[in-house]
Structure 1
Amino acid sequence: MSAETKNLRNVVMLGHSDSGKTTLIEAMLFEGGEIKRRGTVETQNTVSDNTDLEHEKGKTIFSHQMFVNWRNNKINIIDTPGFDDFVGEIVSSLKVADTAVIVLNAANGVEVGTELVWEYVEKNHTPTIFVINQMDHPKADFEKTLEQAKERFGPKLVPIQYPYNSGPHFNQIIDALRMVMYEFPENGGKPEKKPIPESEMEKANAMHNALVEIAAENEEGLMEKYFEEGNLSEEELAKGITIAIANQQFFPVFVTSGLKDMGSGRLMGFINDIAPSPADRPARKLENGEEITYDPNDKTTIFIYKTLSEPQVGMVSYFKVLTGKLKAGDELVNANNGETERISQIFLAKGKDRIPVNELVAGDLGATVKLKYGHSNNTLNTKGLDRKIRPMEFPESRIRKAVSTDSSADMEKLVTALNRISEEDPTLRVEQSAELKQTLLHGQGQLHLDLVKQRLQDEFGVKMNFSNPKIPYRETITSKADADYRHKKQSGGAGQFGEIHMRVENFYEGMEEPTGMSIRQKEIEDLPWGGKLAFYWCIVGGAIDNRYIGAIKKGIMQQMKEGPLTGSHCQNIRVSVYDGKMHSVDSNDISFQLAASGAFKTAFHLAKPQLLEPMYAVEILCPDEDTGDVMGDLQTRRAVISGMDSEGHYQKILANVPLAEMHDYGSTLRSITGGRAKFKMKFSDYQLVPPNVQQELVKQHAVESVEV
């Protein structure tokens, strides 16, 4: 089962949902002899989509690793989901792939899921092959799809093939690289090679010439030979084309029908002969700036790109061998946490099946089980090596929900289960918010979170409820106010006494010092939740001892942690303590802490308090025809449009939107644009809440406080 590094091909299949990736992979495995019968998504028996969730949804949700032996090479194939809710599976798969195969639906053209993956393909500089699939569809349109692909992905897309016929009777492909026409039997499989019809020779020759020019740029003497002979074989063009693909100078385009198994064998042959092996890929960057190459004679380094929890098995770790040879029984040190792991078993993954092997060489993909300390994004090395691969970078979450359970007893089980799932899925983040007093779940979209909810119930027996999270508002003041407060308590024995006079003002950088006061001490500190507190000690004549400064600040901070308006954090306030009284016996820390808290609360209400809300900079990319509807929806969300521009075939809308208005935005945008738009958001600043909104929030907080 093990292959040499130069005989490996690592391919990731990418594309929008329903482009036919899983069905095409079945045909590829069948053509390679790895399966005896092709399964279908409908009959739930494909090698790739093999989980209960995928069977229920009829969609690829997780990435799946499998392989096929083709001639002298081993081709590893990773299937990936088409929904951007599961972008983590795409990012991790691209990290270990040496070639991307982007599958387009010939009936639907270039769809938003394809555009999403293209961003990551470009970021990873991955050599790419395009496949226009489903040529047997009644609405298949090769030329339109190719034109869209060139428009959106650039002129480097060059067709190697085109269909001689398409639609339900599709069975002929003209191949301009080999200058032959393939005619397939009714049930697909091995085609008959036929001469290209005379009517198509001019078109085929023009395509062949384009391929010759691409190859000749990287292989001397090819152009001269072409002029002499008038044609070149694929073998003669192979070296130049391989270099062009490896350097992303050229993205070949193939045509297939995965359902009918037409063209899949030719695609496999091209991957086998032309696609780069790990040995052909550039050196891999380490975190410290050094580089490593896929050298089987080096000491062993592996990278874990995915982990998955399986019932009765535990954690399964999927990895790529970067250098050396990995053998069953090897002990490796985790560069991320320093722990030593014994790799007791090594497997080749074939969908849900795992085939044990004794050894894997540099460049190969495999799996192991029951690592104690190994997680996604971890590098494991032979003892003594100090190598850490640059980690995968996953996108920020686009949706967050507060989670709860029907009973408090289930909450601990819920958090434990969520943390376990988030270990498998780096795009899922669990947050225990002390400020909001909620457990928050951050994800990529509603579908993403809904499937997590289903997994919790099916696999862990925990029922989870979603609700909109509270908003982390901030409270401040807009004017100046003085207040005093006396705390006095006598209940036998020593009593409590403390009196404080203070002034509160809105604080900003560069403001003038307080007037009419003698400043003895001042501190300006950054608050843990953002903003500042300026504390001025202006006591003269010993009205309050300096030893009570700490207690007074503590009382102010207690009020600032749970502000008087809505219980939100306060920020950007200057407090000047300028008078007060103490008692030689009854004054103590708690007395002045409570007096400070009462004085601050009173002064705060007198100083025209104002609620602030978090604003997010939102960037939306949408088709031109949907721009009006998207803008209209933003206006209902109190958005301020800050700019518009075009980016490729998209309209880019920039807006500042209150977080409170973004709860359901992903679902709404998908509905408005038919799933053809995408967005990202990033915290911008805090801004004043409109008076009517503030009034409602204060009223709501008062009601909730009474209920508690």
Structure 2
Amino acid sequence: MPEFDTSHVKNIVLLGHAGSGKTTLAECMLFEAGLLSRRGSVYENTTVGDYHPLEQERGNSIFSKLMHTKWRGFKINILDTPGYDDFVGEVLSALRVADTGVMLLNATMGVEVGTEIIWEYTERFKTPMILAINKLDDEQSDFDKTVQQAKDNFGSNVTVVQYPRQQGAGFHEIIDVLRMVMYKFNDTGGKPDKLDIPDSEKEKAEKLHKELVEAIASNDETLMEKYFDQGELTEDEMKAGMKKAMIRHDLFPVFCLSAERNMGSGRLMGFIDNVCPSANEMPPQITNSNEELPCQENGPACIFIYKTISEPHVGDLSFFKVFSGTIRTGMELINESNGVNEKINQLFLMEGNKRLPVNELVAGDIGATLKLRNTHVNNTLHIKGKNYELPPIEFPSPNMTVCIEPVNKGEEEKLAQALHQLREEDPTLIVEVSQELKQTLIHCQGDMHLAVAKWKIENLHKVPVKFGKQRIPYRETIRKMAEANYRHKKQSGGAGQFGEVYMRIEPWYEGMPEPEGLNVRGREVFNLDWGGKLVFYNCIVGGAIDTRFLPSILKGVMEKMHEGPLTGSYVRDVRVSVYDGKMHPVDSNDISFKIAGIMAFKQAFQQADPQILEPINAVEVLCPEDLTGAVMGDLQSRRGVVEGMDSESHFQKIIAKVPASEMYGFSSSLRSLTQGRAKFKMHFDSYQPMTYELQKKLIEEYNKSTTEVLA
């Protein structure tokens, strides 16, 4: 029998901007529950959560961690997450399996940009949320300002449950308006004394208590009627009402903390036990086939893989949540994505980097297992006879791209294996081998994300690597009509080669009229893999070229469009009309007309006012108002066009279009300019013509590079 049934398992995720105190709070919770005899410190690299050497080196969380503790008859699974947006994949994975989020707000900074971004994800998942205002012992702390910013950002459902009697170095008393008591801590924190609320605070406490009761009652008609009849609700009624409202994402209670001094964590844990929902109290999961999957320990076994890490000398460790049934060692489950039969040989509870073996896990619990053969993040495993597939985690698009290569020649295969392993562990890191650019590319969330990837490759896989600029996928096109002809003639021993092609090329656009002055015999339209179109016309009259050679001419044109005449970039949006030519009864063949097609297209292209198109990214930057000038200046220095600004809560959103070639290093520059107080996202928007000066420079660089290669 498992130690805890489903209703006594609580899953919480600690969220917040970097430096808000999540790892320190997790340490307090483990200490308060008696699992630790001494609280570790982030500064001394002694916490259970930040055990990875890279985290200890950098002084902040990089990976999400699973820990658990026991508190007054309940098991609390704690998911500690990083605060930097570069590691958003770790946050989303943890949110997918948590039943309650605890958002830590730094009382000295208020609602920060990172907090705002994470909140958007909680809205997507409709995660019940607690707001915990931390660092109230700091001299610069401002509880009221932080609460007001929370209301401005997250809505009027933000409701105070606790407030500090004093802030700064003297912080040691918290007034709880749910229980209407005051908690008084000694200097070392820990368990407080419960005291009556002082007369000087009664008016404020009663006002906030009334606001809390009204907020709870407004979300429940039965409680509203009781409140109107009796003018008050009991503590149990308030707790029941808060749970319902939190599940509906209609109430966000505010608590007070000093995690550093261990003040307030015990009361927060008590609230998690008493009020926060268990997995079986949350709405049932909806499978991809629109079937409800209630969280019941006697239901059909079903687990969801939310995270994978590779442990040296051990193998892949898969983290999962049991969404239905009871999972036991030795059980066989089916991977719905690929039909592979997976055997659960071992089950573990996790305590940071420590694995604690268990024999079974019930619905609602979170654990880990080793060496699943063909199972990855976002896979659903279930018992035979079912076809459950749970919705996957949707990870954000990358914000940064660089090329990567090994420092030492001959280690390309080792690097490929390392990159494959990184991709398995981190779905937000995308590896691409670009045939167009002839580079291996890493697409990631930012420079910190990239630094972590480099550390893993070099320290775990022992492959020294170097990063470089991604080549830009330019496009080439034309702006006017041009004609050219080319005769390919080659005579040597045996059969010769002969083919002559007359060709007209024009810039293609939707709805353009048929070629003027030509007799159209056939038309083919090709949607190009790289965007745009090629429209190919057969306008041959009198049998000047046999129709059997037209596919060879088309093949030659298409080959040249793969490597444009100006910079070797793909060509797009061109109409080609073959209208005349000559052939030889003996020497004409497919290769002759292919070469003639290539050369005629190249000559015509050079005469048709060729134009290089560059990719333009749509960029959105979220930053405090006092930093907008510096950010806009940086974007404009990158040839960016600022298209507008918008307010988003108490932040400013700058909307701009910036050439992709100018975005290299923007992540680092933005972090430096704003001290990490701004975030950005971008995506490809369109291709736009380059200026003459830039086009000329690009062509000269290309010609120089090709000359050097030939030399």
TM range (shorter): over 0.9
CA distance in 1, matches of 2:668, 2:219: 47
Secondary structure of the 1:329 match is coil
CA distance in 1, matches of 2:313, 2:245: 46
Shift of residue 560, structure 1, vs aligned partner = 0.7
Q: Deviations over 1:488-530 (max 9, x none)?
A: 1112111111111111111112222222222211112111111
CA distance in 1, matches of 2:539, 2:283: 66
5 Å matches for 1:82-231? 82-217=83-218
Secondary structure of the 2:603 match is helix
> Once structures 1 and 2 are overlaid, which stretch shifts more, 307-316 or 104-113?
104-113
5 Å matches for 1:368-379? 368-379=369-380
> Once structures 1 and 2 are overlaid, which stretch shifts more, 222-231 or 205-214?
222-231
Q: Percent identity?
A: 54
CA distance in 1, matches of 2:228, 2:534: 79
Shift of residue 484, structure 1, vs aligned partner = 1.1
5 Å matches for 1:444-459? 444-459=445-460
2:97–2:321: 8 Å Cα contact kept in structure 1? yes
The one-letter code sitting in structure 2 at the alignment partner of 1:120 is Y
Shift of the 519–178 alpha-carbon distance from structure 1 to 2, 3 Å rule, reads same
Equivalent position of 2:342 in the other structure: 341
2:13–2:100: 8 Å Cα contact kept in structure 1? yes
CA distance in 2, matches of 1:221, 1:546: 82
Match status 1:38 vs 2:39: yes
1:215–1:239: 8 Å Cα contact kept in structure 2? no
Equivalent position of 1:367 in the other structure: 368
Shift of residue 233, structure 1, vs aligned partner = 5.0
Equivalent position of 1:14 in the other structure: 15
Equivalent position of 1:356 in the other structure: 357
CA distance in 1, matches of 2:248, 2:482: 68
CA distance in 2, matches of 1:544, 1:562: 26
Match status 1:581 vs 2:591: no
Shift of residue 619, structure 1, vs aligned partner = 2.2
1:212–1:222: 8 Å Cα contact kept in structure 2? no
CA distance in 2, matches of 1:194, 1:641: 57
Equivalent position of 1:669 in the other structure: 670
Shift of residue 113, structure 1, vs aligned partner = 1.5
> Once structures 1 and 2 are overlaid, which stretch shifts more, 406-415 or 200-209?
406-415
Shift of the 223–484 alpha-carbon distance from structure 1 to 2, 3 Å rule, reads closer
1:212–1:223: 8 Å Cα contact kept in structure 2? no
Equivalent position of 2:481 in the other structure: 480
> Once structures 1 and 2 are overlaid, which stretch shifts more, 161-170 or 322-331?
161-170
Q: Deviations over 1:589-633 (max 9, x none)?
A: 111111111111111111111111111222222222222222222
Match status 1:235 vs 2:236: yes
Shift of residue 217, structure 1, vs aligned partner = 3.9
Gaps of 5+ in 2: none
Secondary structure of the 2:457 match is helix
Shift of residue 231, structure 1, vs aligned partner = 6.3
Match status 1:314 vs 2:336: no
Equivalent position of 2:425 in the other structure: 424
The one-letter code sitting in structure 2 at the alignment partner of 1:473 is Y
CA distance in 1, matches of 2:493, 2:220: 100
The one-letter code sitting in structure 2 at the alignment partner of 1:494 is A
CA distance in 2, matches of 1:221, 1:292: 29
Match status 1:515 vs 2:527: no
> Once structures 1 and 2 are overlaid, which stretch shifts more, 426-435 or 570-579?
570-579
The one-letter code sitting in structure 2 at the alignment partner of 1:168 is A
Shift of the 228–642 alpha-carbon distance from structure 1 to 2, 3 Å rule, reads closer
CA distance in 1, matches of 2:151, 2:54: 35
Equivalent position of 2:611 in the other structure: 610
CA distance in 2, matches of 1:617, 1:212: 46
Shift of the 31–588 alpha-carbon distance from structure 1 to 2, 3 Å rule, reads same
Equivalent position of 1:687 in the other structure: 688
CA distance in 1, matches of 2:637, 2:395: 31
Shift of residue 395, structure 1, vs aligned partner = 0.7
Shift of the 225–602 alpha-carbon distance from structure 1 to 2, 3 Å rule, reads closer
Equivalent position of 2:553 in the other structure: 552
Secondary structure of the 1:409 match is coil
2:408–2:464: 8 Å Cα contact kept in structure 1? no
1:219–1:239: 8 Å Cα contact kept in structure 2? no
1:214–1:244: 8 Å Cα contact kept in structure 2? no
Match status 1:70 vs 2:64: no
Shift of the 206–525 alpha-carbon distance from structure 1 to 2, 3 Å rule, reads same
The one-letter code sitting in structure 2 at the alignment partner of 1:284 is Q
CA distance in 2, matches of 1:23, 1:91: 21
CA distance in 2, matches of 1:227, 1:640: 57
Secondary structure of the 2:117 match is helix
The one-letter code sitting in structure 1 at the alignment partner of 2:77 is N
Secondary structure of the 1:62 match is coil
The one-letter code sitting in structure 2 at the alignment partner of 1:89 is E
Q: Deviations over 1:290-342 (max 9, x none)?
A: 22110212110100000011111111000000001111111000011111100
The one-letter code sitting in structure 2 at the alignment partner of 1:694 is Q
5 Å matches for 1:372-451? 372-451=373-452
Shift of residue 229, structure 1, vs aligned partner = 8.1
Aligned length: 708
Q: Deviations over 1:369-395 (max 9, x none)?
A: 111111110100101110111111111
CA distance in 1, matches of 2:297, 2:525: 59
2:159–2:215: 8 Å Cα contact kept in structure 1? no
5 Å matches for 1:237-276? 237-276=238-277
Equivalent position of 1:502 in the other structure: 503
Secondary structure of the 2:170 match is coil
Equivalent position of 2:591 in the other structure: 590
CA distance in 2, matches of 1:220, 1:541: 87
CA distance in 2, matches of 1:19, 1:645: 27
The one-letter code sitting in structure 1 at the alignment partner of 2:284 is A
1:2–1:359: 8 Å Cα contact kept in structure 2? no
Shift of residue 637, structure 1, vs aligned partner = 2.0
2:520–2:538: 8 Å Cα contact kept in structure 1? yes
Shift of residue 166, structure 1, vs aligned partner = 2.1
CA distance in 2, matches of 1:496, 1:251: 80
2:77–2:366: 8 Å Cα contact kept in structure 1? yes
> Once structures 1 and 2 are overlaid, which stretch shifts more, 311-320 or 165-174?
165-174
Question: Root-mean-square deviation (CA), in Å?
Answer: 1.6
> Once structures 1 and 2 are overlaid, which stretch shifts more, 183-192 or 649-658?
649-658
Shift of the 247–494 alpha-carbon distance from structure 1 to 2, 3 Å rule, reads same
Shift of the 221–125 alpha-carbon distance from structure 1 to 2, 3 Å rule, reads closer
Shift of the 198–227 alpha-carbon distance from structure 1 to 2, 3 Å rule, reads farther
1:128–1:245: 8 Å Cα contact kept in structure 2? yes
Shift of residue 368, structure 1, vs aligned partner = 0.3
TM-score by length of 1: 0.97
Q: Deviations over 1:169-200 (max 9, x none)?
A: 32111111111111112211111111111000
Equivalent position of 1:492 in the other structure: 493
Q: Deviations over 1:6-60 (max 9, x none)?
A: 1111000001111111111111111111211111112212111111111111110
Secondary structure of the 1:448 match is helix
CA distance in 2, matches of 1:530, 1:139: 54
Equivalent position of 1:277 in the other structure: 278
The one-letter code sitting in structure 1 at the alignment partner of 2:484 is A
Shift of residue 665, structure 1, vs aligned partner = 1.9
Shift of residue 227, structure 1, vs aligned partner = 8.2
> Once structures 1 and 2 are overlaid, which stretch shifts more, 374-383 or 279-288?
279-288
> Once structures 1 and 2 are overlaid, which stretch shifts more, 643-652 or 488-497?
643-652
CA distance in 2, matches of 1:407, 1:209: 69
TM-score by length of 2: 0.97
Shift of residue 215, structure 1, vs aligned partner = 3.3
CA distance in 1, matches of 2:515, 2:177: 82
Shift of residue 68, structure 1, vs aligned partner = 0.7
